Amino acid sequence: QLDSRVQDLPRDELGELGASLNRLAERLKETNELRKKMTADVAHDLRTPLATVRSHLEGMIDQVIPASPENLESLLDEVKRLTTLVADLQEIAQADVARYRFNLEPLALEPFLAGLVQQMTPLFQKKKLRLALRVVQPATVRCDRDALTKVMENLLSNAHKYTPSGGNVTVLLEREETQAVIAVQDEGIGIAAADLPYVFERFYRTDQSRNRESGGFGLGLTIVKELVEGLGGSVTAQSTPGAGSCFTVRLPLLPE
Ligand code: ADP
């Protein structure tokens, strides 16, 4: 039955149908490849910290590694990293399945950012970093407070992670025509030009952060991008290796 209906279609429509079926097949294949790659990446990322925790615990049981507070602390750090990975994966799965269900409300960015900066200051002080908010122009957006909090926490925690002690991190707020602009500027290790286009991709980490113990799993910026785009905005990155990075979030201003 379907066959005869397909035969009745004019030639160009048939061609179009064929082409879109091909595109669909292509996309399904890509999605499948991506899923396979992601599973392999997750397995790899889980294996390393688990192996560390396991060998240390075994060493402690066999009494070849002392169960000192420092050793236990470093095990706790590994467990914390694993917890973050699981939370990030959950976040991404949620975004994939249902897009986010945003609770949009008018949000004045100046008090919102001031609160966030105040809340994160002790963490920055611990590492002898200065965290400051600079408001060039106040702005109000229609936004989901929790989602924007996650975005800012991710960007600030990267700035914190990748800036050596003594550096400055500045959150800048201004307006640009119909957009509110929030920039997180740091004086950290920076990102090489070759890496910059990929930092928002899943599991992407630069070699520099792969070699650091404090590095995450390369999911934070993926979450940032998905959330910001879900909110109708955009996020970009600029960086000078050795001098610092700047991540800029643009969100549509609430019409007056
Ligand atoms: P991670 O959890 O590994 O930090 P992200 O997705 O947040 O993952 O970031 C991806 C990569 O981009 C990081 O591994 C790091 O190499 C680089 N990066 C992100 N933010 C900064 C920054 N502020 N300064 C330098 N490098 C950064």
Cβ–Cβ under 8 Å, residues 231 and 164: no
Where residue 113 falls among pLDDT bands split at 50, 70, 90?
very high
- The ipTM estimated for the assembled molecules is 0.97
For 169-221, how does the pLDDT look when each residue is reduced to its tens digit (9 = 90+)? 999 999 999 999 999 999 999 999 999 999 998 778 887 665 555 556 788 89
Mean pLDDT of the residues in the chain: 87
Cβ–Cβ under 8 Å, residues 145 and 200: no
Report pTM.
Answer: 0.74
From 205, 223, 227, 249, the mutation candidate for ligand 1 (largest count of ligand atoms within 8 A of CB) is: 205
Q: What is the mean pLDDT of residues 115-143?
A: 95
Where residue 137 falls among pLDDT bands split at 50, 70, 90?
very high
Cβ–Cβ under 8 Å, residues 224 and 250: no
Atom 2 (ligand 1) nearest CA: 216
pLDDT value for 188: 95
From 209, 211, 236, the mutation candidate for ligand 1 (largest count of ligand atoms within 8 A of CB) is: 209
Residue 100 has pLDDT above 90, yes or no: no
Separation of alpha carbons 209 and 213, rounded Å: 8
For 33-50, how does the pLDDT look when each residue is reduced to its tens digit (9 = 90+)? 777 777 777 777 788 788
Atom 20 (ligand 1) nearest CA: 158
Distance 12 CA to ligand 1 centre (A): 48
Q: What is the mean pLDDT of residues 2-19?
A: 73
Q: What is the mean pLDDT of residues 60-66?
A: 92
pLDDT value for 95: 64
Of the chain, the end-to-end C-alpha distance in Å amounts to 57
pLDDT value for 5: 65
DSSP 253: B
Residue 145 has pLDDT above 90, yes or no: yes
